[in-house]
Chains A and B, each alone.
Chain A
Amino acid sequence: MANLDSLFHGFVVALTMQHVMLMMVGVLLGILVGVLPGLGAPNGVTLLLPLTYTMDPVGAIILLTSMYWGALFGGSTTSILFNIPGEPSSVATTFDGHPMAKQGRAIQALSFAFLSAGFGAMVGVIVTTLLSGWVTSFALQFSSPEFFAVYFLAFASFVGLSAAQPSKTIVSILLGFAFATVGMDTISGSLRLTFGFDELLRGISFLIVVIGLFGIGELLLTMEEGLKFEGVRAKVSLAGVLETLVRMPRYWVALIRGSLIGVWMGITPGGPTAASFMSYGLAKRFSRRREHFGTGEPEGIIAPEAADHGAGTAAMLPMLALGIPGSATAAVMMGGLMIWGLNPGPMLFIERPDFVWGLIASMYIGNVVAVILVLATVPLFASILRIPFAIIGPLIVVVCFIGAWTVGASKPDLWLALIFGIVGYVFKKLDYPIAPLVLALVLGDKAEDAFRQSMLMSQGSLNIFFSNPLVGTITTLAIILVTWPFWAGLMRRVHLLRIRQPKVIE
């Protein structure tokens, strides 16, 4: 196995004292930027980039990727503790993570999240190592129709889940799609739905919407039950972390399914956001404890976290080999590669094997380092919830608005965050589901671009979505999932008929 040989060589490169130190620094800095919604991974990496100009490329990429892992973990932390997802990919973690933390089980929620994230990442790296050659050529088969089919599949596996009134779910999804179309249209190059406001040029930012809908909306809702200006009484100890570790294997199905979905979406590349929603959706659909989802069910944390990190790591390989960044953070890192004098592309593997395999090896070590460090911080973070609400509540508000400001340094964004906060409050009280809105907002414009690119390619014929076995399979799967309630109903009816039939004869 030539790959294992190269990997071994990579470990030799990555496992120096200096590199392990860089990993630890990177992870810790990453956690710091991850828990502050205003900073986040892209900002952190952007900031460190100039420092790396004088470093050797292997050390530099190790520092930046470790920061990225740390920030991903930090993002899950705020999702669970405060219901504020720092990255689109940790939205799905809020659904069960936050309820669990509110019940005083923050330690368990955080530990479940970090352990499954670490597991997902590990699966991602292993697949990357074993299949590096195949992954790239597979990714090359993806064009716009395949992209559209993948987004459609992610969407189909998530929607139709909520118990809400269908017309409310529809309004929610459509609002998300409508917000996604604001700003520059890639295909026609014209500005849409900006109504002449310069502030809307860049579109409606995901971060502002979730800060409002999730963060501020949740706070307002909490306040309704009176000014409970006291902290959540939670037992905070390292033992809770170990207990969770022991309980982890019980959820192996969700864990493995989540990781595989993540790896698949990372390679295809549908991305971590689509992966986490899809994984949550499928876990809920096929779980025996379906009705407990949304109330603090461990599977509801494990599924999206494993998928999120599985996708994040699996996406690194296509990025290096094709030169396509899978996320904003990855895009900044690619800029770094060019500055260090490396050209992302297939030749990178041949010209600089020390760099590529050093990076892959550092992903093994870095993720282990990250999981250990982040688990050690769990008691610290969980005890934040014990701070009286009269202090932590307004602090969260301040942090939320700092986050809203840093998105685009524009004043109207502060109003927008406040408005979305009120919308979030009203929607929750009236049982309008919020998650579909966020998913539609994140995937909407990508899906529309992919769809219209496909239509340009096929001159307006929808047959392109069945034009080869790959796209045909994904599209068919998506259609089956979207019509699942219908099939399930049909099967039930057939089943009932079968039972009744004999009785009729009698």
Chain B
Amino acid sequence: MDNERALISRASMEVATALVTGGVGAAVIWGAAEHDIGWGDSGPGSGYFPFRIGILIILASLTNLVLALRRRGFGNEVFVTNAQMRSVLAFGLPILGFVVLSLFLGLYVAAILYLAFVMIFQGGYRPLFAIGLAFAVAVAMRLIFPIWFKVPLLTGPIEALLGLY
């Protein structure tokens, strides 16, 4: 497998980004249109600025789109190669998993699982060390946030079972 091969070309990513930012612009216009977009006796209405910001975002995105399409000047410039993408996903997918787990199990449990997973399978640490460190982090989280600084963190069903808040 060719690791240096381009997975996504720079040009196509430029196009995709311009389309997304343009889409955000359209959403802003749509949201602003609910409000007064005019300039009355008392100055601009509440939709005046958002409406125009939305239009300008679309115009600037169009410029980016046209430049990306026309120039093709990025030529064969690469956005990510296979190897890079694999590294990014190897790091990014566990983060996604962490977020999803947090929503169901709370931040503590998710943090333990996530930290242990990354340290064991990607860092190559001994399971005992990794799990121990992960638990230590969870204990530190609990001490620092809810106990010392009285900032409650997201908890899940397991904490509820244990009677922790």
Q: Do chains A and B touch in the complex (CB under 8 A)?
A: yes
Which of B45, B50, B67, B84 has most A Cβ within 10 Å? B50
Residue numbers in B under 8 Å from A139 (CB-CB): none
Q: Is A414 a contact partner of B99 (Cβ separation < 8 A)?
A: yes
Q: Which residues of A contact B90 (CB under 8 A)?
A: 223, 227
CA distance A451 to B48 in the complex (A): 12
B158 at the interface (CB under 8 A from A): no
| Known interface pairs A181-B49, A227-B90; A426-B103 also in contact (CB < 8 Å) | no
* Complex contact B114–A398 (CB within 8 A): yes
In the complex formed, the residue of B with least CB distance to A410 is: B154
Please report the C-alpha to C-alpha distance between residue A168 and residue B151 in the assembled complex, in whole angstroms. Answer: 39
CB distance from B43 to the nearest CB of A (A): 2
In chain A, what residue has the closest Cβ to B28?
A178
The answer to whether B43 touches A455, judged by C-beta atoms less than 8 angstroms apart, is yes
* Closest beta carbon of chain B to A148's beta carbon, Å: 12
In the bound complex, how far is the Cα of B103 from the Cα of A414, in angstroms?
A: 9
Interface residue ranges of A176-206 to B (CB < 8 Å): 177-178, 181, 185, 187-188, 190, 192-195
A193 touches B32 (CB 8 A): yes
B144–A429 touching, CB < 8 Å = no
Chain B contacts for A188, CB-based, 8 A: 35-36, 45-46
Answer whether residue A430 sits at the interface, using C-beta atoms and an 8 A cutoff.
yes
Contact of A390 among B79, B103, B114, B122 (CB under 8 A): B122
Instruction: State how many angstroms separate the Cβ of B98 from the closest Cβ of chain A.
Output: 7
Does chain A have a CB within 8 A of B24? yes
Tell me the minimal C-beta distance from A469 to chain B in angstroms.
Answer: 23
Number of interface residues of A (CB under 8 A): 67
The yes or no answer to A216 lying at the interface (CB within 8 A) is yes
* Whole-angstrom CA separation of A174 from B36 in the bound complex: 20
Q: What is the CA–CA distance of A61 and B96 in the complex, to the nearest angstrom? A: 43
Q: Which of B32, B43, B103, B151 contacts A39 (CB 8 A)?
A: B151
Q: Are the C-beta atoms of B57 and A175 separated by less than 8 Å?
A: yes
Contacting pair A39 B87 (CB below 8 A): no
Across the interface, A391 reaches (CB within 8 A) one of B47, B123, B149, namely B123
Residue of B31, B60, B98 near A174 (CB, 8 A) is B60
A287 at the interface (CB under 8 A from B): no
- Distance of A170 Cα from B22 Cα, bound (Å): 12
User: Bound state CA distance, A397 and B124, in angstroms?
Assistant: 19
Interface size of B by Cβ–Cβ distance < 8 Å?
Answer: 70
Q: Is the CB of A394 within 8 A of B154?
A: no
Within B118-151, which residues are at the interface with A (CB < 8 Å)?
118-119, 122-125, 133, 137, 141, 144-145, 149-151
- Say yes or no: A33 contacts B118, CB within 8 Å: no
Given contacts A406-B151, A411-B154, contact A193 B102 (CB under 8 A): no
Complex interface bits, A383-397 against B, C-beta within 8 A gives 1, otherwise 0 = 000001011011101
A165 close to chain B: CB less than 8 A: yes
Knowing A38-B151, A227-B122 are in contact, say whether A171-B60 is a contact too (CB < 8 A): yes
Q: How far is the CA of A414 from the CA of B90 in the complex (A)?
A: 20
**A8 at interface, CB cutoff 8 A:** no
Indicate which residue in B28, B94, B96, B154 contacts A193 across the interface (CB closer than 8 Å).
B28
Taken together as a complex, chains A and B put the C-alpha atoms of A397 and B46 apart, in Å, by 38
- The answer to whether B99 touches A190, judged by C-beta atoms less than 8 angstroms apart, is no
Contact, CB under 8 Å: A388 / B60: no
* Residues on the A chain within 8 Å of B6, using CB: none
Most chain A CB atoms below 10 A, which of B47, B56, B64, B151: B151
Judge whether A448 is part of the interface by a CB distance below 8 angstroms.
yes
Min C-beta distance of B147 to chain A, whole Å? 11
28-63 of chain A: CB within 8 A of chain B: 33, 36, 38-39, 43-44, 47
Instruction: Select which of B32, B44, B53, B63 is within 8 A of A167 by beta carbon.
Output: B63
- Report how far A233 CA is from B45 CA in the complex, Å: 56
Contact B63 A401 (CB under 8 A): no
B2 interface contact, C-beta 8 A = no
Contact at A175–B114, with CB atoms within 8 Å? no
Q: What separation, in Å, do the CA atoms of A171 and B80 have in the docked complex?
A: 23
Determine if B56 and A47 form an interchain contact, defined as CB atoms under 8 angstroms apart.
no
Given known A193-B31, A405-B153, A456-B43, contact A390–B125 (CB-CB < 8 A): yes
**Highest count of chain B CB atoms <10 Å: which of A175, A388, A458:** A175
What A residues does B17 contact at CB under 8 A? 426-427, 430, 432
Interface digits, B80-121 against A, CB 8 Å rule (1 contact, 0 not)? 100110011011101110110011000100010011001100
In this complex, what residue of B is CB-closest to A461? B43
User: Within 8 Å CB of B49, what residues of A?
Assistant: 177, 181, 448
**Is A249's beta carbon under 8 Å from chain B?**
no
Question: For residue B47, which residues in chain A have a CB less than 8 angstroms away from its CB?
Answer: 192
Instruction: Enumerate chain B residues within 8 angstroms of A187, measured Cβ to Cβ.
Output: 46
Task: Tell me, in angstroms, the Cα distance from A223 to B90 when the chains sit together.
Answer: 9
Contact yes or no, B53 A401, CB < 8 A: no
Residue of A227, A411, A427, A455 near B91 (CB, 8 A) is A227
B87 CB contact (under 8 Å) in A43, A174, A223, A454: A223
With A391-B133, A406-B151: A192-B35 Cβ-Cβ less than 8 Å: yes
CB-nearest residue of chain B relative to A405?
Answer: B154
15 A-B pairs whose Cβ atoms sit less than 8 Å apart in the complex? A47-B150, A167-B67, A188-B35, A188-B45, A195-B31, A216-B95, A220-B91, A223-B91, A224-B87, A229-B122, A390-B125, A397-B98, A398-B98, A405-B154, A418-B95
Closest 9 CB pairs of A and B: A455-B43, A390-B123, A188-B46, A193-B31, A223-B91, A167-B63, A394-B118, A170-B60, A224-B84
Spell out A's residues near B (CB within 8 Å).
33, 36, 38-39, 43-44, 47, 165, 167-168, 170-171, 174-175, 177-178, 181, 185, 187-188, 190, 192-195, 216, 219-220, 223-227, 229, 388, 390-391, 393-395, 397-398, 401-402, 405-406, 409, 411, 414-415, 418, 421, 425-427, 429-430, 432, 448, 451-452, 454-456, 458-460
